[in-house]
Amino acid sequence: MSASFAPKGYVAASSVPASAIPANSIVDRHDPRFETLKRGQNLRFPATDAEAAGQIIICSSAEETASALERAVSAGLRPTIRSGGHCYEDFVANNPNGVILDLSTLNSVDADPAGGFHIAPGAVLGEAYRTLYKRYGVTLPAGTCYMVGAGGHISGGGYGLLSRLHGLTTDWLTGIDILTVDSNGKVTNRHIDAHHDPDLFRACRGAGGGNFGVITNFHFAKLPAAPSEVAHAGISFSWASMTEAKFTQLLIAFGDYWATRGLEPDTWGLFAFLSLNPGEGFNIHTQFINPDGTANDLSVLHEFFDRFAKFEPDPPETSAHGAPGKLPRINLRPWLNATLAEGGSGGGYRAKYKSAYMKQTFTPAECAAIYKYLNSPGIDAHGSFLSIDSYGGAINRPERILDTATAQRSSIMKLQWQCYWRGQDEDAGRIKFMDEFFTAVYTGPHVGAEYQGTPLGPQHEGCYMNYADVDMLRYPFWPQLFYGTGSLYPFLKQVKQRYDPNNIFHSSMSVRA
């Protein structure tokens, strides 16, 4: 995966040929499309009409993207970048009088005649999976939301159901095409890899989009073979039967598996996510394949669910794969069908998100806080849920710390808080609830005094930049939450200074030189 891969005949860095932008690709405030296109998937942004961009430019090629970027820079306007539109905070849509470079139609997925694969930033994950599988029999170890764009997902790390087995999407990257802007405002097209601008290449492998330039293509020298089929199964527990003691035991048992048995390579094809929803209860869902890519031997899956039989899950459907009352029905499904059926867009709502990486199982204090905020009278948790995903496996290969910008390589679980609502009048209350919930989980003796209220320290490994959360800016150490406590963030600051000296690409949480 470390081999260099570049398009045939590429030039490492060059001026960009001018390309006229079609008139109908420029959407301004007078265009009937503007009210729709000024927003991404999170309808909280832009927060007001005054904070909306002045233009959206639909870019369908690298040349059009370069021209749009030159147009913005020469006019002194801030460019922000959108591929799928799933940015969790205001980094793209809140751009007063600025320019949104919309890359959603720059969406090709193909192979190079010399070998390897190209994925453009506007390609959504579902179409990438479909094309890679049908034409080439390979896949990306990427996310479950099939409408997420590749641009932000891959540059921020990118992980999904196959990542314990195959690593992060960025671990497979071998080249990137990116537009940067120098101190004189000149736009330069760069092909970067381990041998050409290797510092920028490393930074783009996990630091998050909108930091250093505009990515116009991702290159992969090879990709893992797609499974032919996968095993899916799940169990549920209702809130009606859930005491706080049982809840605590269940959470700790789930975490214990990933801290012990889940470290062993024969389990790396097992991905599980535990969904805690105040309206739907406590649900564990799994996808499993063996390390050889088959679903023939299901003993690892049986063993996993056996750990929860003593907690008496809700009566499951059963089959020859499991005894009544102990195991759910295990469904063998074609991998492509299962993958494309899993995730929707998550759009059309106002939303708030938070995240945490965990290196150990849950403490009783964490369990108590989660139980309180999801299942206590007098606390309004409607529209919110907590997803606890398995992590680790191939992701935690230590050599990846040195050649990517993803610092979290010791975790066994990744948590995502999500809350959705419709009306602007609910914003303050929903955001306050999420902040109080998250802060309560990470306040107490299980977190060091200097990191109270945050998931950082011996038991935790910070937050995920693709689940951006501006609430973390209240802490002076916020870069350590997202980029680790080692040398990564100082390195990223140097890259920022070198390739974006005028801070053209910025947000409240971008890398600061």
Q: How confident is the model at residue 73 (pLDDT cuts 50, 70, 90)?
A: very high
**What would the pLDDT profile of 281-293 be if each residue is shown by its tens digit?**
899 999 999 999 9
Does residue 509 have a pLDDT over 90? yes
Check if the beta carbon of residue 79 is closer than 8 Å to that of residue 101. Answer: yes
What's the confidence (pLDDT) of residue 2? 36
CA distance 351 to 337: 28
CA distance 186 to 10: 20
**What would the pLDDT profile of 121-130 be if each residue is shown by its tens digit?**
999 999 999 9
Domain 109-226+493-499: CATH class, spelled out: alpha beta
Does residue 15 have a pLDDT over 70? no
Six-digit token pair at 184? 């004189």
**What are residue 414's DSSP bridge partners?**
357, 389
Fold agreement (109-226+493-499, 229-483): no
Residues 6, 153, 182, 494, CA torsion sign? negative
Check if the beta carbon of residue 463 is closer than 8 Å to that of residue 472. Answer: yes
Check if the beta carbon of residue 174 is closer than 8 Å to that of residue 7. Answer: no
Check if the beta carbon of residue 143 is closer than 8 Å to that of residue 341. Answer: no
Q: How confident is the model at residue 114 (pLDDT cuts 50, 70, 90)?
A: confident
Q: Which residue has the higher pLDDT, 20 or 6?
A: 20
Edge to edge, the sheet with strand 13-15 lists 13-15, 187-192, 175-181, 214-220, 117-119, 109-111
Check if the beta carbon of residue 384 is closer than 8 Å to that of residue 275. Answer: no
Q: In the CATH hierarchy, which fold is given to the domain comprising 229-483? A: Vanillyl-alcohol Oxidase; Chain A, domain 3 (3.40.462)
Does residue 277 have a pLDDT over 50? yes
Domain map (residue ranges) of the chain: 13-102, 109-226+493-499, 229-483
Q: How confident is the model at residue 404 (pLDDT cuts 50, 70, 90)?
A: very high
Q: Which residue has the higher pLDDT, 17 or 181?
A: 181
Pairing of strands 214-220, 175-181: antiparallel
Query: Angle, nearest 10°, between helix axes 244-259 and 364-374?
Result: 130
Q: CATH for 13-102, among 2.30.42.10, 1.10.287.110, 3.20.20.80, 3.30.465.10?
A: 3.30.465.10
Range 250-283 burial, b when 16+ CB lie within 10 A, else e: bbbebbbbbbeebeeeebbbbbbbbbbbbeebbb
Mean pLDDT taken over the chain = 94
Pairing of strands 99-102, 55-58: parallel
**What would the pLDDT profile of 318-356 be if each residue is shown by its tens digit?**
444 444 445 578 999 999 999 998 766 556 899 999 999
**What would the pLDDT profile of 197-239 be if each residue is shown by its tens digit?**
999 999 999 999 999 999 999 999 999 999 999 999 999 999 9
Check if the beta carbon of residue 375 is closer than 8 Å to that of residue 242. Answer: yes
Range 361-374 burial, b when 16+ CB lie within 10 A, else e: bbbebbbbbbbebb
Phi and psi for 12 in degrees, rounded to 5? -60, -40
What SS3 state is found at 17? coil
Within the chain, what is the greatest distance between any pair of CA atoms? 70
What's the confidence (pLDDT) of residue 95? 98
**What would the pLDDT profile of 130-144 be if each residue is shown by its tens digit?**
999 999 999 999 999
